[in-house]
Each structure stands twice: as C-alpha cells, then as structure tokens.
Amino acid sequence: MPSKDDKSIDKISALKKNIKKLRLMLSEHRKKEEILKERCERLEMAIEAGGFGFWDWDLITNEAYFNPTYYTMLGYEPGEFTASYQSWYNLLHPDDRINVVPRIKKYVELGQSYEEEFRLRCKDGTWKWISGKGKIFINGASGIPYWAVGVHIDITERKTAKQALLESKKRLDEESDKLRTISENAPFGIVLMDSNGRFEYVNPKFMEMFGYNLHDVPDGKTWFRKAYPDHEYRKNVIKTWLTDLESFKQKSKVGERPNYTFTVTCKDGSKKTINFIPVFLPNGGHLLTCEDITERLYLESQLRQAQKTEAIGTLAGGIAHDFNNILTALMGYATLIKIKLKTTDPLITYADQILTASQKAADLIKNLLAFSRKQPLNLTYIDVNNIIKSTEKLLKRLLTEDIELKTKLTKDNTVIMADQSQIDQILFNLASNARDAMPNGGRLTIETDIVNLDKEYIEKYGFGKPGRYVMIKVTDTGSGMDKDTLDKIFDPFFTTKEVGKGTGLGLATVYGIVKQHNGFINVDSVLNVGTTFHIYLPALSTEIEQIPIEPVSIPTGNETVLVAEDNEDVRAFLKEVLIKHGYRVIEAQDGEDAIKKFMTHKDIDLIILDTVMPKKNGLEAFKEIYKLEPDVRVIFMSGYSRDIVLEKGIGDKEFDFIPKPVEVEKLLLKIREVLSS
C-alpha cells in the first residue's frame, strides 16, 4: 500500500510534467504570434506599397479603420478624420449616396462580396473617382454579418481618359456624319479605294452618273474592264494612270493634283467624258472624284462653232458688200448698152453674156451673204408644200436616174414667212448632197409636218425655241457620216469631195438661210445607212391669197432725185439710168454731202441713200434730213439685208429698200412706187 508521501511525490512529478508541457505550448504560441505579427506587418507594407486605400469596418459598432494611404489618397494627413462608416458617408458624392449606398447595404445583408464605383470629396473640394471592393464576414453560429474589409482605388485618371475617349468618339461620329452628308449629296462622283484596289465606297452621284454600283464594280480591275471595253483604249488609260500616279507620288506636292479626262462607257452603254481627280490617302488607298464634263465640252464646242461662224460671216459679208458695188456697175452698164443698141445689133449678145456672167457672180455672192445672214430677204407668205411640189421636177433632174425621189407632205397648213428663192436653195443644196452620197442609187425622201417644239424637246436636243414649226425632213439612204465629219458639215468651205466637185458652201448656206428665217436645223446620220436633215421654220396660220401677176412696163418720171452713194461707179450708173428715164439727178458722195445737198436744193422729191458710206452712213444722214423735212421720201440701198437698216431704224418707220446689186427694172419700179404713194 503506498504511503501519503508517495502519493504527493507522484502529484508533483505530474505537475512538473504539465508545467513543462505548458511551457512548450507557450513558447510555440509565442512563436506563432511572432510569425502572425510579422505576416500582419508584411501585409500592411504590401498594401501601402500597392498604393491602395485599405479599410475595415465593424458592422456591429460602425467603427472603421483606414490605412495611411487612404488618407493621403484624398489629400488628408493620416488619421486627420475619425475612422468610421459615417466619415466615409460624409465624403460621398450626393448622387452616389442615393445610387450606390443602397446597393452596398444589400450586399452586406446578403454577405456578398461587391465592386462599386463612386466619387469621394478630397480635402481641396475636388472629387475623385474610386473603385471600391469589399468582402463581408458572417458569424457562423448566428448567421449575422459582423465585419467587412476591402480596398478603395483611385480611378479618376482612368475615368477621365475614358470620358475624353467617349467625347472624341462622339465628335468623330459627328464629323463622319457630316462627311457622309457631303459625299451623299455631292454633285460629283466619289470613289474610295483601298490599297488593294478594292472599291470601299461609291457615292450616289457615282451610281447615277455611270449606272454601276459596288456590286457591279467591286474593284479597280473590274472598273477598267467595264468602263473601257475597248481593249486598246483601256490599255492606254491604265498606262496613263500607272506612269502618272507613280511620278506624282514621288513628287507628292501638296495642292498639286493630277487630273485625267477619259471617255467612260456607262452601264447602259452610253459614253460620257469624265474628269478624274485622284487624292492619295496615307493608308495607301485612293479617293477619286469624277466630274461629268460631257455637256460642258459640248456647249464649249457649240460656242466655238458659233464664234467661228460669226467671224467668217463678218468676213464674207464684207467681201460681198464690195463685190456687189462692182457688180452693180457691171450689170448696170451692160443693161444700158442693151437699151442703147438696136435689137438687131449683134453686140447685144455680148451685153447678154456680160449680164449672164454677172448674174452668176451675183448668185455666188448671194451664197456668201446667205451664210453670213446678211442677205437681203424678200419675205412673203409661202406654202412649203407648194414649193416642194413645184420644185419636184427640177430636183428630179438634179438627181441621177437610179435615185428615187419620194415626197410625203402633211395635210396641215404649211405657210411660213420666207424668201421663196432661199427655200428653193435649201432643197437644192440638200438634194445635191444626197445625190453625191448615193453614187450607186438609193432613195431621197422629202417630208413635211407641223411640230410643236416644247420645253421637253428643247431640253432633250439642246436647241430651239418653243413654238409651232413647219418641219422639212430630208432623208437619204446614202453613205452617212462619221462623227468627225458631222461636227464640221456646217463650216463654210468644209468638204470631203474632191477638188472641183465640192465647194463646201452648200450646208453653210443652208445653215445661214435657216437661221435668217429664225429656224433650226439638225442632222442625224448613220455611217453606211443614211442621213436625215430636219429643218424647222416658224409656222404661220395664214392661207395664202393668190395674187395675179401682171406684166410690168418700165415706168419713167420727171421728179428730182438726190443720189447719195460713195462708190463712184455705182453713182455714175444710177445717174445715167435715172436721167435716161426722165428724172433730174443731184449727186452726193457721202452722208454729210447728202445733208448739205439736201439743204441747198429745196426741190428734192426723193433721196436714194446707200446705207454704208463714209463720214455719215445712210441712216445717220437720213436722221438729219428727217429733222429738216419729216415728209421726205427715201429709199435705202444696200448689199446687206434690210434688217440691218431696220434694226437700227427710227421708231417704227417702215423703210423702202432696194438690194444691191441693183437691177435697173426693180429700181425704176421702186422709185415710181415710192413717189406715187
């Protein structure tokens, strides 16, 4: 049985053991604490080094902890405000108090981790954008959230950068909207091509101009093939592009742009003259603008043509004027010789020869004047259908036997105000051209019709004035013409015929006559098929009265006539004729002289005035004389058309007029008519 002492010894040794154990446990605990402390310090250092605002929040007491960086992030000294939930709430932006706080409360209730963005007020009053992350801890036994930790990071810079980015994107969108509006409404075509030659964009005008869309021409290669179907032409176009673009790229001067003009074939097969301007883009692509200059070129060529015609007309008119004076003398004296000779005299034939030759010369001059539109017109009411019917026989004689002449005349009234001989001239010129174009025979058709030129027609064909017209259509089945020839046919002296055969005046004359009658002419021609001329002359709605023509006898008189004419030969001839037929003649050699003579000889019954004279012309001289004697009788005389005198006339006074070369009979008839009126 163990003694009381034995028992005590056992207890002591057990205690010692326990103490030893406890010491061991304590030292281990200390070691662990040491490690934990070290870890805590390290963690805190890491957080500081990361520059994060670190916090924890006791959800039961609402007390909190903010690390030093948290304070400095907002511009405070560490510990400058009390660390609590309330302090944080006070710094929060009013909008975020409304939006963000309820959400955070919800996370806390549910014990969920969260991430939110909000603004905190700095010490200097500015706002900082913060990204806040939090983790909630829940008591395992009660299920109540009791603690939260997390970091707050300053994201202001990121946020403003993002905002700036958004704004610049918005501006960019607006800019590109503007650019799109411009290109969608541009009056010229726009193509955007990438560095591989793919068409990225074509604007509506491009599609309207050519008929092609992106689907038709996805790239430059297809474009070249479709727009320039002719192989040779295409090769040239491509070569021009490549060489010029290369050299331009090397120069690459700002403001200097190459530009090209090519004939493009559109989707519907029509051809257009297009001006291209390429712009090189930094990404290696191209921006191409294309302008349709077909119409402009056409108008320019029309204008050039009109100017040229006008200039040649002036020249021709000038020559004709001088020539008419010479012819007047020539024909006049020949007529006088005839009058003086007995009818049996053999010399009469010579006088007749002179007259025939002079008449031919006069006809030539007439052509020149017709073209220059300065020819005196003898306007009367004429029926175009009648003229065609009456010239049909003559025209047939003009044509070769293997050419059939057909007429299709309208039943409508085809009365116009015109010079009959001029309309004849048109028909003859067109018929002889048709004959030359059909050396192996064919058909010549002359048709008439009444047409109304309306706005649509004028827009379509680019000529005319609205109104009712008698149309004469002359069609042959001959050689036709190519475009080059067509462009020039109305030019005086343009002919494709061999020397001696063509004068090149036929169509120029036709053109002049049509214009002088306020009409229009156009021509359609297809090579090896034939040619059609359309002539439009203003229609009248009057039926013609048939005036019986009475045989005329040459009248005489005994009145005093003042003859003002600067050309000595013409003056002498006129004097001779007038004296021969009973008149008294006073001569004046220019306009001023005419006024002087009129004032010194009070008994003058009639003045004959040449329109073109030195010092004062006929009209100017007349104006002076008219002031002295408003009842004066006058006849104007000119190698130019009546219009020139009338155009610049005095008020609505009608003038009597006699064209040069002066024919004796007509002159004497006119003088009698004026004196007897």
Per-residue mark of binding to ligand ADP, 98-117 (x: CB under 6 A): --------------------
Relative orientation angle of helices 220-227 and 231-251, to the nearest 10 degrees: 140
- Residue 481 binds which entry of ligand ADP, Mg ion, none, with Cβ cut-offs from 5 to 8 Å by kind? ligand ADP
Binding flag, residue 531, ligand ADP (CB under 6 A): yes
Pick one of 203, 433, 479, 509: the residue that binds Mg ion (CB under 5 A).
433
Give the shortest CB-299-to-ligand ADP separation in angstroms: 23
Give the shortest CB-366-to-ligand ADP separation in angstroms: 16
Give the shortest CB-432-to-ligand ADP separation in angstroms: 7
- Residue 434 binds which entry of Mg ion, ligand ADP, none, with Cβ cut-offs from 5 to 8 Å by kind? ligand ADP
**Rounded to whole angstroms, how far apart are CA atoms 186 and 646?**
50
Give the shortest CB-284-to-Mg ion separation in angstroms: 59
What is the radius of gyration, based on Cα positions, of the chain?
Answer: 54
The residue type at 460: K
From the list 271-279, 294-302, 364-372, 478-486, the region that binds ligand ADP by CB under 6 A is 478-486
For ligand ADP, give the closer residue by CB, 474 or 577: 474
Binding flag, residue 489, ligand ADP (CB under 6 A): yes
Q: Write the CA distances from 634 to 626, 637, 640, 649, 657, integer angstroms.
A: 10, 10, 17, 13, 9
- Residue 477 binds which entry of Mg ion, ligand ADP, none, with Cβ cut-offs from 5 to 8 Å by kind? none
**Tokens 């001779």 -> residue:** 576
Binding flag, residue 478, Mg ion (CB under 5 A): no
* Binding residues for ligand ADP, total number by CB under 6 A: 22
- Residue 531 binds which entry of ligand ADP, Mg ion, none, with Cβ cut-offs from 5 to 8 Å by kind? ligand ADP
From the list 189-197, 313-321, 501-509, 571-579, the region that binds Mg ion by CB under 5 A is 501-509
From the list 192-200, 226-234, 416-424, 432-440, the region that binds Mg ion by CB under 5 A is 432-440
Pick one of 213, 359, 407, 485: the residue that binds ligand ADP (CB under 6 A).
485
For Mg ion, give the closer residue by CB, 263 or 496: 496
**Rounded to whole angstroms, how far apart are CA atoms 444 and 477?**
7
For ligand ADP, give the closer residue by CB, 476 or 610: 476
Answer yes or no: are the C-beta atoms of 464 and 458 closer than 8 Å. yes
* Helices within 51-140 (DSSP H only): 68-73, 85-91, 94-110
Give the shortest CB-510-to-Mg ion separation in angstroms: 9
Give the number of C-alpha atoms closer than 13 A to the C-alpha of residue 322, restricted to the C-beta side: 5
Strand 286-292 with 380-383, pairing: unpaired
Residues 115-144 that bind ligand ADP (CB under 6 A): none
Strand 145-154 with 127-138, pairing: antiparallel
**First-last CA distance in the chain:** 192
Per-residue mark of binding to ligand ADP, 422-461 (x: CB under 6 A): -------x---xx--x------------------------
At 365, which helix (H) or strand (E)?
Answer: helix 347-372
Strand 403-408 with 442-453, pairing: parallel
Answer yes or no: are the C-beta atoms of 620 and 591 closer than 8 Å. yes
From the list 3-11, 148-156, 240-248, 500-508, the region that binds Mg ion by CB under 5 A is 500-508
For Mg ion, give the closer residue by CB, 448 or 509: 509
SS3 590: coil
**Tokens 């689907």 -> residue:** 215
From the list 78-86, 257-265, 505-513, 581-589, the region that binds ligand ADP by CB under 6 A is 505-513
For Mg ion, give the closer residue by CB, 430 or 667: 430
Per DSSP, which regions of 464-614 are E strands?
Answer: 467-476, 520-526, 530-538, 560-564, 584-588, 606-610
Token pair of 407 as six digits:
């007429």
Give the shortest CB-603-to-ligand ADP separation in angstroms: 53
Give the shortest CB-512-to-ligand ADP separation in angstroms: 11
Give the shortest CB-534-to-ligand ADP separation in angstroms: 13
- Residue 625 binds which entry of ligand ADP, Mg ion, none, with Cβ cut-offs from 5 to 8 Å by kind? none
Binding flag, residue 502, ligand ADP (CB under 6 A): yes
Q: Write the CA distances from 292 to 190, 256, 431, integer angstroms.
A: 12, 21, 39
Give the shortest CB-305-to-Mg ion separation in angstroms: 19
Pick one of 67, 203, 477, 479: the residue that binds ligand ADP (CB under 6 A).
479
Pick one of 506, 512, 519, 530: the residue that binds Mg ion (CB under 5 A).
506
From the list 205-213, 402-410, 430-438, 623-631, the region that binds Mg ion by CB under 5 A is 430-438
Binding flag, residue 495, ligand ADP (CB under 6 A): yes
For ligand ADP, give the closer residue by CB, 144 or 311: 311
Under DSSP, the state recorded for 188 is S
**Rounded to whole angstroms, how far apart are CA atoms 332 and 676?**
24
Give the shortest CB-314-to-Mg ion separation in angstroms: 23
Residues in the chain: 677
Under DSSP, the state recorded for 331 is H
Sign of CA dihedral 330, 331, 332, 334: positive
From the list 42-50, 309-317, 475-483, 628-636, the region that binds ligand ADP by CB under 6 A is 475-483
**Rounded to whole angstroms, how far apart are CA atoms 589 and 565?**
5
**Rounded to whole angstroms, how far apart are CA atoms 32 and 26?**
10
Give the shortest CB-475-to-ligand ADP separation in angstroms: 9
**Tokens 């002539």 -> residue:** 535
Token pair of 542 as six digits:
């009057």
| 423: nearest Cα among 377, 372, 479 | 377
Give the shortest CB-374-to-ligand ADP separation in angstroms: 19
- Residue 479 binds which entry of Mg ion, ligand ADP, none, with Cβ cut-offs from 5 to 8 Å by kind? ligand ADP
**Cβ within 8 Å of residue 78, ≥6 positions away:** 68, 71, 72
**Rounded to whole angstroms, how far apart are CA atoms 438 and 403?**
8
- Residue 313 binds which entry of ligand ADP, Mg ion, none, with Cβ cut-offs from 5 to 8 Å by kind? none
Buried b / exposed e along 114-129 (16+ C-beta atoms within 10 A): bebebbbbbeeeeebb
**Rounded to whole angstroms, how far apart are CA atoms 636 and 645?**
8
- Residue 476 binds which entry of Mg ion, ligand ADP, none, with Cβ cut-offs from 5 to 8 Å by kind? ligand ADP
For Mg ion, give the closer residue by CB, 328 or 475: 475
Binding flag, residue 512, ligand ADP (CB under 6 A): no
- Residue 305 binds which entry of ligand ADP, Mg ion, none, with Cβ cut-offs from 5 to 8 Å by kind? none
Token pair of 66 as six digits:
């903010």
Buried b / exposed e along 454-465 (16+ C-beta atoms within 10 A): eeeeeeeeeebe
Binding flag, residue 492, Mg ion (CB under 5 A): no
Pick one of 507, 537, 609, 671: the residue that binds ligand ADP (CB under 6 A).
507
**Contact residues for Mg ion, defined by CB under 5 A:** 433, 506
**Contact residues for ligand ADP, defined by CB under 6 A:** 429, 433-434, 437, 476, 478-481, 485, 489, 494-497, 502-504, 506-508, 531
